[in-house]
Amino acid sequence: MDFSIRAANVDDCKDVARMNLELAEYEKTSEQVTITQRDLEQDGFSKNPFFHCVIAEVPQQHKSKDGHTKIGFALYFYSYSAWRGRAVYMEDLYVMPEFRGKGVGKALMSKVAQLALTRRVDALQLGLAAGCTQLNFTVLHTNRSSVDFYLRRGCSDVTSEMGYHFMSCGGDAMRQLAQP
């Protein structure tokens, strides 16, 4: 199948928002989605972006049954490990169901890994975290096909291997925590 992977731009936010909702529906968590297209535009394409994104796109002749040419995305941001240094966190990897099994997900993940490993002076001057030592992400334990997909690519499950739990604090709990 003919497809390309490229850096997202602000005009892609409508499709990223659409696919983000499709992903949430697939994971049966759509009621938790509060991000809008405008949020994505502001948070990903401002002077100091909170995230970066790559898009999988097919030519018009291979568009989806619903007429979409943007068929997948990987949203990521740079972080830091106190033990291993620079890292990249892949927040989401999504490929529309009708395009799965064709190498799109692997290509998206590969692109994020390439960007994370790149040691370019211009990237460092722009404040981008090149030279990362690890790619981190989470996956629902119930999403066995995705777990298997990642394991086939050499990823490891640190929850079972090291016993770490991913924790989160938001909403009222975060506001309470912020009180002195």
Q: How many CA atoms lie within 13 A of 73 on its CB side?
A: 26
3-state secondary structure of 71: strand
3-state secondary structure of 37: helix
Give catalytic residues, as residue numbers. 150
Which of 44-79 are b and which e, b meaning 16 or more Cβ less than 10 Å from the residue's Cβ?
bbeeeeebbbbbbbbeeeeeeeeebbbbbbbbbbbe
Q: Which two tokens stand for residue 178?
A: 């912020």
